[in-house]
Chains A and B, each alone.
Chain A
């Protein structure tokens, strides 16, 4: 029916009436996303050669936390310390469940002494009710969130704003203007390299998006669709809730929530929630944890930090084995599960887990399967036993759905993050030539 793509349009940013692909699983978050613009290959090369603009995280989502006890409240739920958190800076904040699983994570901005804003499913995520005992107002906002990433992103934004932006350091934000509209620029991104975000009221989204896109024409800008957006996380080494793992719900409703809100897939039993969730240690975020304060999940995280079992690596899939899944479609007999391009399975939000074996031994799980146009490789993120995580180790990813035909795909343990260029955190842009 017509309503499938005209109604509830989450991101009306594009003048040329882009059509959307929808996954109607998650009430409260935007359900309609632009999947592809110029083509996923072009889009996925953009952050190497030029830059992209991505608007898929816009809409209903950011959470405002404001009030006399805003800091106290936030501190009670995140593993990070908020002691050094100046106004105008951002943190990647992580929130756990009592049993030490990641419940929510995302970028939190400090807007004022008593005011924080949390983006893209960041704490408290869907658990707005956790603020109840505190003197704090927690509410959802409607905002545009545009990600501009790639080597030319700074030039594009300087052209769009007409302003020198070299002072914006990694994880800092401030106000700037585009065509007279105030917008907030922050230096953060999901490619691993130079990247920025723009935030502002949703009504002004179309004007800002168009202005940046136009300014970017001379700098190789591509509009990034959701399909390729997920690719950069895996190349960039950013495990991500709803993509490479599931934000953990409280134990009693864990399975029900996962089944209801996510597309469950992979060779691991679909009722196995643990295989599809992660701890901060498992995704290498435990260095963010500070045990100088009390927070939900502290005890479990402290115990795991003392004796960690698993860690995240990039898995580089064996080409012959990948191609055999395609070839199996064109020969008689059973076929293997198809590998969608550029990410697989082409679903969202996902709760995917494939078994990873070394020899006959179960060593962990794989998720976030992508094809990287830049590297010409199929990659995924493995969460595997530390004892098996040496670079170059050969493992097996069991590709397929539980109970169906499985393909044992050989994979090599590879560097994490997989991109090898300069990290956004280390890049000195003060000397970069202006656009």
Chain B
């Protein structure tokens, strides 16, 4: 291995959350409540997109993804996961089928797919795209998008896109749910992104829409258990045989997105200890052995006898309060940013049971909706039973550490409402919505 883990314990400059715009629009508590009570618009336009075309595009993605492509309809999208030979996640993202031989990939996987395309024998081409990605998520998302588009979206199935028009522009409305609620991701050319954003805000005014700022971002992922690159796992690109790709990847990324800064009590000499498999991240159901793909063998073994599972940890409120209380003491514990880290660390804390490390906690964040400090935890399967009591070690190695009691809970922690039946939902009643808002 060519990386020294200890040298990765540095503080990245700035706040990585500026990608989402301002830190707060209303305030972070209000914004994090939005996807449970009304809805938000969040700006994921910084994401990378790449268009893949040609007769072999499905073969390309089949070769580098754990997912099955036996069924992949036009206008369907998949959460595709790319692994290395050891079955650890390199990247993951959303792949949409725009045509019989045309796919669009969103996320860092663009670079990996293109790398494989160029180094393999595929009858296909790819080109970068620059689209906007606006997430509209929460129970009112359907009403807001319908109002902005002036048409019904009730027939758009989960993980499928509807073609709609907003202010005369063609927009794809992908029904997904990154807040664990009804959600649409609006996609289209950045040429008219501002118009679309404004139209959604205007349509959303009567539905209590909020703008999602940088501080609130990822609390949705935490509540709904969507583990995320760098936040919950390190991309498996540090092995020697990935050196060539890693160079390309780093060169293609803005500097701020290509740093890997480790923090937290979890320690290891090998960066691979920060890698995760799709099984560990809760994506086992997406792994299908109906095709050959990189990492298949390792994953067949792991699916057969999984060692670790992902869970939510609920942190003890008194122990968390102690961390704040230490602000007044000579010895202060590591700062607990509210609602979560803003600096862009890979923040991993070791989780103990009876003195033994049984898991690794990440995504520590505060949910106002539940009034609890939560984290995601990849934990030994025998400790994964909800209700199990564990201890999170808070604080970097070599600094003063605080043991925080925590209880294992299911992941996602919040009920999964993504697939709510839109047909049975009533049409928007503005009066009812306004009443709801007034009661807040």
Taking a contact as CB atoms under 8 Å apart, the answer to whether A19 and B256 are in contact is: yes
Q: In the complex, are the beta carbons of A18 and B13 less than 8 A apart?
A: yes
Q: What sequence of 0s and 1s flags, for each residue 14-46 of chain B, a beta carbon within 8 Å of any chain A beta carbon?
A: 111011011110010100000000000001011
A24→B22 contact, CB < 8 A: yes
A-B pairs, top 7 by smallest CB distance, nearest first, are A19-B14, A330-B317, A18-B13, A326-B324, A17-B255, A18-B14, A319-B328
B190 touches A323 (CB 8 A): no
- A376 proximity list for chain B (CB < 8 A): 327-330, 332
B372 interface residue (CB < 8 Å to A): yes
Distance of A37 Cα from B19 Cα, bound (Å): 17
Q: How far is the CA of A14 from the CA of B214 in the complex (A)?
A: 22
In the complex, whether A2 has a CB less than 8 A from a CB of chain B is yes
In the complex, what's the smallest C-beta–C-beta distance from B429 to chain A, in angstroms?
27
B229 within 8 A of A: no
A19/B317 contact (C-beta < 8 A), A2-B45, A330-B371 known: no
Within 8 A of B (CB), among A309-351: 319, 323, 326-327, 329-332, 335, 338, 340-341, 345-347
CB distance from A248 to the nearest CB of B (A): 27
Any B CB within 8 A of the CB of A38: yes
| Interface residue B320 (Cβ < 8 Å from any Cβ of A) | yes
| Chain A residues in 8 Å Cβ range of B371 | 329-332, 335
Q: Is A20 an interface residue (CB 8 A)?
A: yes
Asked, given contacts A39-B11, A330-B320, whether A22 binds B18 with beta carbons under 8 Å apart, the answer is yes
* A19 lies within 8 A of B332 (CB): no
Where the two chains meet, the residues of A that have a C-beta atom closer than 8 Å to any C-beta of B are 1-2, 4-5, 14, 16-24, 34-41, 319, 323, 326-327, 329-332, 335, 338, 340-341, 345-347, 371, 376-377
A-B contact count (CB 8 A): 104
B330–A327 CB distance below 8 A? no
Among residues of B, the one whose C-beta sits closest to the C-beta of A5 is B18
Q: CB within 8 Å of A: which residues of B?
A: 11, 13-16, 18-19, 21-24, 27, 29, 43, 45-46, 132, 190, 193-194, 197, 214, 254-256, 317, 320-321, 324-325, 327-330, 332, 335, 337-338, 343, 366, 368, 371-373
B16, B23, B193, most chain A CB atoms within 10 A: B23
- Complex formed: what's the CA distance from A23 to B194 in Å? 18
Instruction: Give Cα A371 to B325, complex, Å.
Output: 12
Contacts A16-B255, A36-B14, A330-B317; A335 near B368 (Cβ below 8 A): yes
Check if B255 sits within 8 Å of A21, measured CB to CB: no
Name, among A14, A23, A330, the residue most crowded by chain B CB atoms within 10 Å (CB to CB): A330
* Set of chain B residues within 8 Å of A39, measured between Cβ atoms: 11, 335, 343
Q: List 23 A-B contacts (CB under 8 A).
A: A1-B43, A1-B194, A4-B19, A16-B13, A17-B254, A19-B16, A19-B256, A20-B14, A21-B15, A21-B214, A22-B18, A23-B22, A37-B11, A41-B332, A41-B335, A323-B324, A327-B324, A329-B366, A329-B368, A330-B320, A330-B373, A331-B317, A346-B23
